[in-house]
Amino acid sequence: MSASSSYDPAPIYDSVDIDMVVKVLSQTAFSPFFTCFIPIFYIFQGYEFVNPVVLIPSIYCAAVSAFWLLKWISQLYRNQGSFFFKPKPLDWSEQIVVITGGASGVGELLANTLAVRNVTVVVLDIKPIVTENYNIVYYQCDISKWEEVEAVSKKIIDEIGQPTMLVNNAGVVQGKLIIDLKPEDVYQTFGVNTLAHFWTLKAFLPGMIKNKTGHIVTMSSVMGLVGCVRMADYSASKAALMIINESLRYELDKVYDAPGIRTTIVCPGHILTPLFSTVRLPSNPFFQFFVPSIAPVTVVKAIITALDAQQSQTIFLPFYTNLSPVVRMIPSYLRDLCQKFSGADYSMRDFTKVTARRSDEADLPVVNGKD
């Protein structure tokens, strides 16, 4: 089976894949508005309601409507929403958004996109972000170290103000077998991918709790739900974020009485960013249709939509990642078949860790957290 590099920094069009099919179906065959016209059409043709030609589409329409209604009620419950009133529109000009790993990849695109909306954006990274937006402020910080996060957070609050949104986006990957991992590799992976979330929450969450409002975005990964060769440390570090996000939600609701602070976790598949530019994925059309890579802009759109909606969400991108939790519950022979189809156990075979250059020409790992 042939393989190819999956990194394309600037896709210029949407490919035809399962995500596009699902999107079209959600607006047609799975849309209550669309399906309700099917039985009406037949009734106007003179058919009786008890006729199967009318009855079956009516039952289908009712089932589709019930699904979307239950989903809407669940969303309202999770976010303490009103049945009759939408939340006040978010005033982006009043937001201060902190983005870790914002100097490249998804973080960089998110920072620049928010800046266009007149948002004050604070980027924490080990290397500076290259941008022409005046409202992006950069602070050099190794977020894996509590002392640096604590010191920088105090400067941010004093110089800019209390952040209203926190996007924990930074991440690193080693791409090594377990016995080949050096202690410093493991420390770095968990320091950036996991411990940094604790440090930024400790630094910025108290102010949000005091104001009873805010939004925490946690960038996890589909690899936090499944494992594969050469990804043990990365997958484990991302799996931890699932529990951190869930525990944080209950602490905010039950301990601090701050349900107005929203929590969103993003679980993407392979994203076309430099971090995984040397990953080798199957290039056959069948794989690319069902397991497509996604552009950074797709992830950024989903994050901004969640922030704008002011709702806690769990975001799986692309569509196939929604099935990842189910994979853990199927029989082992089916699980192995899925693993073989994905090519995951061979995708990191030729992986090369991407490094970045700073003005002092020191080699630094890319910290942009994208899968």
Tell me the pLDDT tens digit for each residue of 321-351.
Answer: 999 989 888 999 999 998 888 888 889 988 8
What's the half-sphere exposure (Cβ side, CA atoms, 13 Å) at 197? 27
Rounded CA-CA distance 175/102 in Å is 22
Q: What is the pLDDT along the chain (371 residues), one digit of tens a residue?
A: 334 434 444 444 457 889 999 989 988 888 888 888 888 888 888 888 888 888 888 898 999 888 888 877 877 776 766 666 677 889 999 999 999 999 999 999 999 999 999 999 999 999 999 999 999 999 999 999 999 999 999 999 999 999 999 999 999 999 999 999 999 999 999 999 999 999 999 999 999 999 999 999 999 999 999 999 999 999 999 999 999 999 999 999 999 999 999 999 999 999 998 888 888 888 888 899 999 999 999 999 999 999 999 999 999 999 999 999 898 889 999 999 988 888 888 899 888 876 543 333 333 344 444 54
| Full DSSP string of 168-187 | E---------GGG--HHHHH
pLDDT of residue 355: 57
With 0-12 CB in 10 A as exposed, 13-18 as middle and 19+ as buried, what is 254?
exposed
Whether 234 is catalytic is yes
Confirm if 97 and 90 have CB atoms less than 8 A apart: no
pLDDT of residue 14: 57
pLDDT of residue 308: 94
Out of 42, 138, 139, 234, which one is annotated catalytic?
234
Tokens at residue 187, please? 């420390």
pTM for the complete prediction?
A: 0.86
pLDDT of residue 1: 36
SS3 label, residue 237: helix
Instruction: Please provide residue 96's backbone torsions phi and psi, each rounded to the nearest 5 degrees.
Output: -120, 110
- Is the previous residue joined to 32 through a cis bond, with omega within 30 degrees of 0? no
